[in-house]
């Protein structure tokens, strides 16, 4: 019963046909946002000398699998790309996209699972991404003392990250939160919810430090989106 209650509290209903809309039919503004975020991820990894050198890559909340497709060139030929999403429709959509775009690709694995149940021995990963506001979905019970699902997710990301790995987060900016200006695939009520669930950037960076990560890069690819790059703090 508790699990059903929690599931109802965390549910985001989206608009109808949202996966198709997200992948193929976003308006011009949202399409630019997606493209700007992806371009910055590539630039970050290139600047760090990691594009083409990533051994293992994890995408949290892989949705339509766009980052699995984008990151194929970032991962070594002997590497592995893993996408995880608890929504079975997302997993099926991603698998269909992979069959369509790269049917011979053997390095990619897609899992249908709640990220918070992933065993820590699944790692380590050289690069982990959680993009375009996906992190907000962990903020449904966001608490002042950070004893919540959001902090659990960040701690798990740290546990799964290699000691020299990079965590890249695309999160909604203050402007997006204030105006409830998330993607058009969300219903109005869900945008209000996501605005509450999304931590301000100062809080996010504090949470990252508490999880054993240090912020090494922060930028705003677009007015609605913050991009944070973090790495593990090692003794």
Q: What mean pLDDT do residues 221-228 have?
A: 97
pLDDT at 17 over 80: no
Among 63, 56, 46, residue whose Cα is nearest residue 81:
56
Among 69, 233, 58, residue whose Cα is nearest residue 160:
58
pLDDT at 23 over 80: no
Largest CA distance in the chain: 49
Level-2 CATH architecture, domain 2-232: 3-Layer(aba) Sandwich (3.40)
Q: Angle at which helices 201-210 and 149-160 pack, to 10 degrees?
A: 50
Q: Where are the beta strands (DSSP E) in 113-207?
A: 125-130, 161-172
**In the predicted model, what is the mean pLDDT of the chain?**
92
Q: How confident is the model at residue 19 (pLDDT cuts 50, 70, 90)?
A: confident
How far does CA 205 lie from the centroid of its chain?
Answer: 16
Could you give the CA distance from residue 21 to residue 91 in angstroms, rounded to a whole number? 16
pLDDT at 96 over 60: yes
Could you give the CA distance from residue 225 to residue 40 in angstroms, rounded to a whole number? 11
Could you give the CA distance from residue 6 to residue 190 in angstroms, rounded to a whole number? 16
pLDDT at 170 over 80: yes
pLDDT at 16 over 80: no
Q: What mean pLDDT do residues 170-178 have?
A: 97
Work out whether the CA dihedral 82, 23, 113, 134 comes out positive or negative.
Answer: positive
Q: What is the pLDDT of residues 42-54, one digit of tens each?
A: 999 999 999 999 9
Residue 177: per-residue pLDDT? 97
The strand order across the sheet containing 225-232 reads 108-112, 75-85, 54-60, 125-130, 161-172, 225-232, 213-222
Number of CB atoms found within 10 A of residue 43's CB: 14
pTM: 0.92
Residue 160: per-residue pLDDT? 98
């Amino acid at each position: 019963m508790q699990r059903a209650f929690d599931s109802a509290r965390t549910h985001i209903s989206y608009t109808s046909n949202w996966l198709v809309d997200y992948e193929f039919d976003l308006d011009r503004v949202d399409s630019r946002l997606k493209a700007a975020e992806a371009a910055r991820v590539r630039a970050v990894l290139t600047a760090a000398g990691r594009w083409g050198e990533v051994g293992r890559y994890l995408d949290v909340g892989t949705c339509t699998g766009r980052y699995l497709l984008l990151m194929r060139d970032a991962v070594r030929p002997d590497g592995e790309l893993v996408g995880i999403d608890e929504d079975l429709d997302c997993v099926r959509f991603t698998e269909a996209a992979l069959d369509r775009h790269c049917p011979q690709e053997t390095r990619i694995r897609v899992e249908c699972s709640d990220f918070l149940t992933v065993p820590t021995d699944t790692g380590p990963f050289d690069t982990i991404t959680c993009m375009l506001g996906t992190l907000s979905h962990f903020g449904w019970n966001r608490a002042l003392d950070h004893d919540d699902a959001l902090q659990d997710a960040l701690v798990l990301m740290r546990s799964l990250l290699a000691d020299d790995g990079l965590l890249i987060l695309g999160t909604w900016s203050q402007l997006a939160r204030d105006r409830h200006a998330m993607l058009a695939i969300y219903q109005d009520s869900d945008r209000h919810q996501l605005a509450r669930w999304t931590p301000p950037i100062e809080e996010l960076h504090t949470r990252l430090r508490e999880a054993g990560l240090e912020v090494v890069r922060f930028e705003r690819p677009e007015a609605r989106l913050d991009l944070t790059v973090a790495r593990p703090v090692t003794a």
